[in-house]
Chain A
Amino acid sequence: NAGVTQTPKFRILKIGQSMTLQCAQDMNHNYMYWYRQDPGMGLKLIYYSVGAGITDKGEVPNGYNVSRSTTEDFPLRLELAAPSQTSVYFCASSSWTSGDTQYFGPGTRLTVL
């Protein structure tokens, strides 16, 4: 099992550009999450999904969009990149069988200049 994978590992964007952060899991987990991590701020939930076709906003959803067309994939879309979106982004997944444990991917470091 690869677990939770994220691509790319690093990305530099110019202000106003768009991009999609990819996230995939091969554990057949029904729950998936996107977090951003900023220094001294912990992890903030951006969006989450309880299953294919179902998504909901987290604590800091502005400037982002998500979709969940399959159980495995949960991409995060940035439409108009802003410097405030410079952060490290983590995808995570969990399921009934994993209890409340969330399994995290290795992260994507995004810089918006």
Chain B
Amino acid sequence: QQQVKQSPQSLIVQKGGISIINCAYENTAFDYFPWYQQFPGKGPALLIAIRPDVSEKKEGRFTISFNKSAKQFSLHIMDSQPGDSATYFCAASKETSGSRLTFGEGTQLTVNP
């Protein structure tokens, strides 16, 4: 069973703080690890993604850290803002384009002003 485990289920952070969401996977064949962001009433949208040939990828305030040996990856949101309040999903797949994503359970992030 291909699984991706995500924690925590919910997270409350003060404005300006750092939000950290963690994911662990089982299948070593996975080679693509995206994070999706979902606002209430909307569909998920790709936020940032990483492949296992690098250990970190940064885009603005968002950073993915990847630990291949531990089979873990995490999303860091620096200087968290109320507008970041959303549900975040990690995912993984083992194929190139057209890949079937296996999603984590999701983390509901609330950033208090």
Q: B-contacting residues of A (Cβ < 8 Å)?
A: 4, 30-31, 33, 35, 40-45, 48, 50, 58, 90, 92, 94-96, 98-107
* A99–B97 touching, CB < 8 Å: yes
Residues of B contacting A58 in the complex (Cβ-Cβ under 8 angstroms): 100
Contact yes or no, B105 A42, CB < 8 A: yes
A40 cross-chain contacts in B, Cβ below 8 A: 9, 105-106
- Point out the residues of chain B lying under 8 angstroms from A44, CB to CB: 103
Q: Are A30 and B98 in contact (CB under 8 A)?
A: yes
Does more than half of chain B's interface fall in helix, strand or loop, or is it mixed? loop
By a beta-carbon cutoff of 8 Å, the part of chain B in contact with chain A is: 6, 9, 32, 34, 41-46, 49, 89, 93, 96-101, 103-106
> Are B101 and A102 interface neighbours, CB within 8 A?
yes
B9 touches A100 (CB 8 A): no
A residues in contact with B101, CB < 8 Å: 43, 45, 102
Can you spell out 27 A-B residue pairs with CB atoms less than 8 angstroms apart?
A4-B43, A31-B97, A31-B98, A33-B100, A40-B9, A40-B106, A41-B105, A42-B103, A42-B105, A44-B103, A45-B100, A50-B98, A90-B43, A94-B97, A94-B98, A95-B98, A99-B97, A100-B32, A100-B96, A100-B97, A101-B34, A101-B46, A102-B46, A104-B43, A105-B43, A106-B43, A107-B41
- Chain B's nearest CB lies how many Å from the CB of A28? 14
CB distance from B22 to the nearest CB of A (A): 14
